[in-house]
Structure formats: structure tokens, C-alpha cells
Amino acid sequence: MSYHFENIRLDKGMYGQRGRSFVSILEELDPSENYRGTPMEGLDAFQRQLKRFNIHVKGVGSDTVESFFHSSDSAVLFPEFISRVVRQGLEEESIIPAVTAAVTSFDGLDYRSIASSPSEDEKTLRRVEEGAEIPQTILKTQENLVRLHKRGRMLVASYEAVRFQRLDLFSVTLRQIGAYIGRMQLQDAVQVLRNGDGNNNPAQVFQIKDLSSSPALSYEALLEFWNRFDPYTMNTLLVSPDMMLAMLKLPEFQNPLTGLNFQGTGTLASPLGATLLRSSAVPAGTIIGLDKNYALEQVCAGDVSVEYDKLIDRQLERAAITSISGFAKLFAGASKVLSA
């Protein structure tokens, strides 16, 4: 049986088109919906191209890097393969989805988020009498642009050095690059949560000594910190490693059920009901509490980008792998800082 994907002409001009990715162009030429009820169902357009050239990228029987360069058509697939594996590494270890309320993708560099800054009177829940004015929620664009950062690595290798390496092993290095980018993006997110995004919206900072009778971290201080979030809900805690240790040593965190859940699933849940996330991106002596549903917006200018022309024409040598993203503060009161 002949399939349409076997006859598609591939060229590097399918990369770098504004507002369109390589895969989206492939999907236009070879829609996945045409393969329902066939052995190819469940594969996207890129995976069907791997099938076309008999390139196996996973498992013990994975092919070598040179399998992508057996023809000019198959070489066009190599940048997308690298992009996918890097993105996999970025997503595997990233805790950014656990602290962001929304992800915005746009094609450009100048982005303004929206915000609503209600007064205390506007936050009050009032009954609307007949004929009375309905309370308003005013949305407006932020004064300052969201600051975007390019994060990435330069992949340096001669074709001769990697041509006989299995793709499964080569993918380990690519995933590590993705994990590095993810850690840098988390540092950007922590910076915005603490200091704001340049629109006069830093997080309110509380000192432990001001919330409890002890200067050291205590359950009393955590309760007071939790209580300051109304009308938001403190459902996530980003914690520095030293503060995580101090927190887990508290008697209230040594509940047998809490320990059983951690031992069984590796998931830490606090007696306050918030998800605990440890990260070295958080400065020592710092706990960031947030309502993940309202605190932060991630802004992405495109997907993971690779220098496709170098990868196709020069078979590696030097190729930059980058991702451009930034973060915007949505509601200033939805994140607060507890400091030692």
C-alpha cells in the first residue's frame, strides 16, 4: 500500500518560516487525519517521515547519527529531531508548569501582558441591588514590556566524531541541554515572582521573625504566611534547599501519612495543602508562596530553535540550540515571599 508521505519533497526552506513550524508545514502537506484506521494512525507527520526513511531513534536498536544523512531529504529531518529531544529534556525536569497559570506563545519580541489591579473596595463581595451599578473588573495592558531572555547552548561536534553514535545515546546529551535551558528559565520565573516584571509589582516580603515568636522557621510562621494570602489560595511553595530541610524537620511535617505518601510516590504535600517544590533557583533562606492559578504567565517567542542550515549543510560542527521566553506577573497579591 502506497502512502502520500512517501512522496513528499523535503527541503530546508520548510524551516524558518514566520509563524509556521517545520512540523506544521509537514502536517499541511500530509495531514494526520488522512491516516485514521491505518497502521500509521497515531503518528504525526514527522514520525511518518522517520518511518519513510527507516530511521529508528529510540531503544536498543536505534540507528546511528549518519542515518539522517543518507539522502538530502532525510538530512532535512535532523534539526527537527534535535529540537524534539531538547524539548523533551526541557519538559521532563521542568517545574515551570507547576508555577504558571498560563502559557502564551507569540511570534515576536515585544509583548505586553494584561493585568487587573482591583482596589480593596472592588475586592469586596457585595450584593447588587436592583438598578445599582454592577462592580467592574478593569483589564489593561501593562506599562512595561515583558522581558524575554534567550537561553541555550552551542552544540559543537564534528560529524566524524558522532556519525557512528547511536541516536539513543546522542539523545542523552540533547536532553541534558534541554534540562539546562529549563533550569535557566526557572531562575527567570523565580526572579519575576520575587521582584516583579518591571511593572511595579514585586512580591510582598514577610520576615519569619515578624510572623512568629521564634526567629527560626516554625509551623506558626507558615500558618501566618498562609493566612496572608486571602483572597488567594497558597497552593504552591517554591522552597530553597536549606529551607526545605528546615521545613521537613518540623514536627508537623513528620506526620506518618505525609511520610508514607512521600515514600510511596515521591510527592511532598504539606499540612497546609500546598505542593512543595524544592529548587536551587530560589535564594537560600527563602520560601515563595503562590497561587499558581493567578500568579504567573509564561511568554514564549516560538519553540526550541536550532540552526537548521548548519545542521543540514555542515553536518553539525557548531550549531546553537536556543529558546526565548520570559515571565509576566499577573496578580501581584497571588505570590508572596517568606524570608529567614
Beta strand extents in 81-123 (DSSP E only): 102-105, 114-115
* Strand partners of residue 219: none
Residue 253: what pLDDT? 77
Question: Does residue 231 have a cis bond before it (omega within 30 degrees)?
Answer: yes
* Distance between CA atoms of residues 297 and 330, nearest Å: 7
* Distance between CA atoms of residues 131 and 10, nearest Å: 65
**What are the grid coordinates assigned to 216, written together?**
527560626
> Which of 12, 54, 67 is CA-nearest to residue 308?
12
**141 CB neighbour count, 10 Å cutoff:** 12
Residue 254: what pLDDT? 72
> Which of 329, 244, 324, 264 is CA-nearest to residue 291?
329
Residue 262: what pLDDT? 55
Radius of gyration of the chain (CA): 25
**DSSP string of 272-300?**
TSPEEEE-TTSPTTEEEEE-TTTSEEEEE
Residue 138: what pLDDT? 66
* Distance between CA atoms of residues 296 and 86, nearest Å: 24
Residue 16: what pLDDT? 81
* pLDDT string in tens for the chain (340-residue length): 567 888 899 998 999 887 788 999 999 999 999 888 888 889 999 999 999 999 999 888 899 999 999 998 999 999 999 999 999 999 987 899 999 999 998 877 778 777 666 655 555 566 766 767 776 666 667 777 888 889 999 888 888 888 889 999 999 999 999 999 999 999 999 999 999 988 888 999 999 999 988 888 998 999 899 999 988 999 999 999 999 999 988 887 776 565 555 555 655 556 678 899 999 999 999 999 999 999 999 999 888 888 888 887 766 678 889 999 999 998 888 999 999 8
